[in-house]
A and B are shown apart, each in its own frame.
Chain A
Amino acid sequence: MIFDKGSTQSNLDCFLHFTTPVVESHSLPKVRSSLPPHRSIENPIFSSYYDLGFPASVLQSEIRNLNRLWHPWERETVEYFTLGDLWNCYDEWSAYGAGVPISLSNGETLVQYYVPYLSAIQIFTSNRYREETESGDGETRDSFSDSCSDESESSDKLCRWGEGSSSDEGGFEQETLWHLNDRLGYLYFQYFERSTPYGRVPLMDKINGLARRYPGLMSLRSVDLSPASWMAVAWYPIYHIPMGRTIKDLSTCFLTYHTLSSSFQDMDLEDDIEKPERKRKAGESISLPPFGMATYKMQGSVWVSGNCGRDQERLVSLLSVADSWLKQLRVQHHDFNYFTGIRRG
């Protein structure tokens, strides 16, 4: 791979670009339902709710909300990727590391390599999957409830979703956490890495191991996942070529946050004024750039000196988005706390 670093790309741009997975996309045609309008769904996956025999009234409002929530944009087809394809992007990176071209202030260029490790993941699906994994163990809903139940606040304050969501709070007064989970979807699987970096297994291996017990990790599609689904990837440096002298800033570690659901695919998560023509066309591969990021041991100017100071702002913004995401979900992300120096008792 010849690293084509555009002259306008800063080192931070390069890092984000070369660690963004680009996944093969598939299409799902829109299905017109023959049900009455108030029950009409614009997405085939919600038929599952009917299959499970949920009370129609609850379901109606739920579906309408969820539907608008999960797939607010009108499209002829729904494009999606499978999680299995997503993990394939990390195959070579897990084995060889991902190369990021870096320009130093003295004009030297080199390529720094980073290995991805699964730092955290939460997969929320539609309720259909709840049935399949009812007998699952500690990694599923129970642990999520545990993490939420640490808070003493009442349930209706929990996890309000996104902007422009129509929250139907009235119906939730008596609800337990169980029902609240329904707003996010069913927590099919979650994992939070706690071991030291020296002992970790690269992302591909980790996923393969976890998928043996949770096959949905491979087979689930982005359209099956709620917008709450996300993952964090920790990037640890290997070495750079050419090696030469030691450059402190190149020992920086990164933690990138990515969404996994189709809901956000057409959104410009980054306000990228400079590249308006890069908006994704239908049928092209789907890219999952990080919506949030934390860094560790960032000391010098390699990462912040580009783009006339915009990099610095960007770093701050990425960090704050990651922080607020975790707060919304009310989860403790071990690596995030470690990277940002937060010590929890």
Chain B
Amino acid sequence: MLEINPLSIDSELWLMAEHRIYEILSCIQPASASEKKREEVISYISRLIKAHYSCEVFAFGSVPLKTYLPDGDIDLTVLTHQSIEEGLAKGISDILQGHEHDPMFDVKSVQYIEAQVKILKCLVNDISVDISFNQMAGLSALCFLELADQIMGKDHLLKRSIILIKTWCFYESRILGAYHGLISTYALEMLVLHIFNIFHSSLNGPLAVLYKFLDYYSSFDWDNHGVCINGVIKISSLPDIVVELPVENGSRLLLEPDFYNYCKETFAVPVNELDSGRHEFVVKHINIMDPLSYSNNLGRSVSRGNFHRIKCALSYGAQMLRGVLNGPGEYIGKGLEKFFTNTLGRNGTGQRADANRPVPAFGTGRSDACDLSGDYDRCHSGLLQGQWYHSYRLPDHFHNIPSKKSNIFSWTGQNGHPQKGTKAFLQRGLPGLCPCPSKRCTTDIDGLGNLRGTGTYIPDMVSLDTLTFYNTVAQNTHLIYFSQTFKLGCCRIVIKKYGPG
């Protein structure tokens, strides 16, 4: 018999509890006010960068996925040749600092962090923006999660659960944040996906997922096991990956191996983008296997001390939530509000850190929450562009950073402002194997559609907008369109792509 709810409490009470969580989520999940503000910031930064350098800028992470928290940052990645990353970072840093007195967008605290991954951090209109370079893994992860959410359905239950659990981890238990030696967001998302995959039949609401998450991971044997999407890995068997299913699971996994294989192939990160070239999974305190790259341990950011505290937090949280849900029915609602006390304190009053206008406060029955559907096509085309970009070595003269004032690298429209779009400079003779981005053929976040067909194919130097390039090459190499159908649990997904003949 399927469980209606994990604790088998009265089903009406459970529905009431889920409803209270729904109201809490309404204060946290993306709202039209926050979407607008974030889109404006992304657009501003992208235009600034593209105006000076012919680079593509992509958003990845929780903003396009629509799982960001009000205090969450914006992740952008610039597509460029790896050898010029550092110079470009410094150049962009200068540009941003130059705009610190921009009246329209308040740019502050520009910082360049030269760690293993180079990141430019800044605040734009009080939203934290992280600009990285060639973060293909981020684009891959985005596509993967967007697809997983579509497959899992139940009105974006995966995304809603991710938002709820992130909320608890960030505002209440403070265990989220790779930068601080805690769990990274992507690692957390994989932990949630693991729960979904195994226990999907009994999970119908975000509260059920939260409870299962806390209950399961507070008693997880981290010393001997790691987490991967389709089961539990035995650490002692590594480097051989031996996956076991938790004993209690009787039903089938939601996502089948075909799905991961497809994702791994389609969303794979080009080899030259990987930093250390490690091919073995390095065991740490918390072990979470990246489904897109088996040697990548997503839990590696967690230090030993923090590992203990995270375990502490999961246990404490599980105990508290259990106490609330098992307690008297009339106090469950208040108990849940208390469980999210800091969250509501900060976000329940109608002010969002990432919105310029007030939103409905908690408990008013109204909400500004927007639809959580992401734009898979857009995400995927961004990834494809990146994969294509890094699949080929660019000619040597590309290793110099283009001059900011050079006309050939900027496209100025009639009104003198940089036109929305980028150019790709290519030498003749580059192989034409290039998948077409999508059947909708819009690749640029600023909407390139109206620039279609304006480029010309010049034998030695090509100056094209990216869209035209794809179309031209596609025509020249007789790419073939085919489709592949997968059976995924109870769904049939048809994936269409263009590939070589």
Let me know if A241 and B109 touch, CB within 8 A.
no
Query: Does A246 have its Cβ within 8 Å of any Cβ on chain B?
Result: yes
Query: Does B172 have its Cβ within 8 Å of any Cβ on chain A?
Result: yes
Given contacts A115-B309, A200-B305, contact A241 B128 (CB under 8 A): no
Given contacts A2-B345, A242-B71, contact A197 B313 (CB under 8 A): no
Q: In the complex, what distance in Å separates the CA atom of A241 from the CA atom of B312?
A: 21
Let me know if B341 and A239 touch, CB within 8 A.
no
Let me know if B71 and A202 touch, CB within 8 A.
no
Query: Does A250 have its Cβ within 8 Å of any Cβ on chain B?
Result: no
Q: Which residue of B lies closest to A2 (CB)?
A: B345
Chain B residues near A241 (CB, 8 Å)?
A: 71, 170-171, 342, 346
Chain B residues near A94 (CB, 8 Å)?
A: 309, 312
Which of B111, B170, B309 is the one whose CB lies under 8 Å from A202?
Answer: B309
Report the minimum CB–CB distance from B76 to chain A (whole Å). 17
Given contacts A95-B173, A97-B174, contact A198 B181 (CB under 8 A): yes
Query: Does A282 have its Cβ within 8 Å of any Cβ on chain B?
Result: no
Chain B residues near A111 (CB, 8 Å)?
A: 342
Let me know if A113 and B128 touch, CB within 8 A.
no
Given contacts A95-B316, A245-B123, contact A1 B341 (CB under 8 A): yes
Let me know if B342 and A99 touch, CB within 8 A.
yes
Given contacts A2-B345, A95-B309, A202-B308, contact A243 B315 (CB under 8 A): no
Which of B182, B305, B313 is the one whose CB lies under 8 Å from A198?
Answer: B305
Given contacts A238-B174, A241-B171, A243-B128, contact A198 B304 (CB under 8 A): yes
Q: In the complex, what distance in Å separates the CA atom of A202 from the CA atom of B305?
A: 8
Let me know if A96 and B128 touch, CB within 8 A.
no
Interface size on B, residues (CB 8 A): 32
Let me know if A198 and B312 touch, CB within 8 A.
no
Report the minimum CB–CB distance from B340 to chain A (whole Å). 11
Chain B residues near A1 (CB, 8 Å)?
A: 341-342, 345
Report the minimum CB–CB distance from A104 to chain B (whole Å). 13
Which of B71, B317, B341 is the one whose CB lies under 8 Å from A243?
Answer: B71
Report the minimum CB–CB distance from B419 to chain A (whole Å). 33
Chain A residues near B172 (CB, 8 Å)?
A: 96
Given contacts A245-B108, A245-B109, contact A96 B313 (CB under 8 A): yes
Report the minimum CB–CB distance from B178 to chain A (whole Å). 12
Q: In the complex, what distance in Å separates the CA atom of A95 from the CA atom of B182?
A: 13
Query: Does A85 have its Cβ within 8 Å of any Cβ on chain B?
Result: no
Q: In the complex, what distance in Å separates the CA atom of A56 from the CA atom of B402?
A: 94
Contact string against A for B residues 432-452, beta-carbon threshold 8 Å, 1 for contact and 0 otherwise: 000000000000000000000
Report the minimum CB–CB distance from B323 to chain A (whole Å). 13
Which of B123, B181, B305, B316 is the one whose CB lies under 8 Å from A201?
Answer: B305
Q: In the complex, what distance in Å separates the CA atom of A245 from the CA atom of B106?
A: 14
Query: Does A92 have its Cβ within 8 Å of any Cβ on chain B?
Result: yes
Of residues 140 to 188 in A, which have CB atoms within 8 Å of B's CB atoms?
A: none
Chain A residues near B308 (CB, 8 Å)?
A: 200-202, 205
Chain A residues near B123 (CB, 8 Å)?
A: 244-245
Given contacts A1-B341, A95-B312, A245-B123, contact A239 B108 (CB under 8 A): no
Report the minimum CB–CB distance from A87 to chain B (whole Å). 13
Query: Does A139 have its Cβ within 8 Å of any Cβ on chain B?
Result: no
Additional pairs, 9, CB under 8 Å, beyond known A91-B316, A115-B309, A201-B305: A95-B315, A95-B316, A96-B173, A96-B174, A99-B342, A201-B308, A202-B312, A239-B174, A243-B128
Which residues of chain A have a CB within 8 Å of any CB of chain B?
1-3, 91-92, 94-97, 99, 111, 113, 115, 197-202, 204-205, 238-239, 241-246
Q: Which 8 pairs between the two chains have the least Cβ-Cβ distance?
A: A95-B316, A245-B109, A95-B312, A95-B313, A201-B308, A199-B304, A96-B173, A198-B303
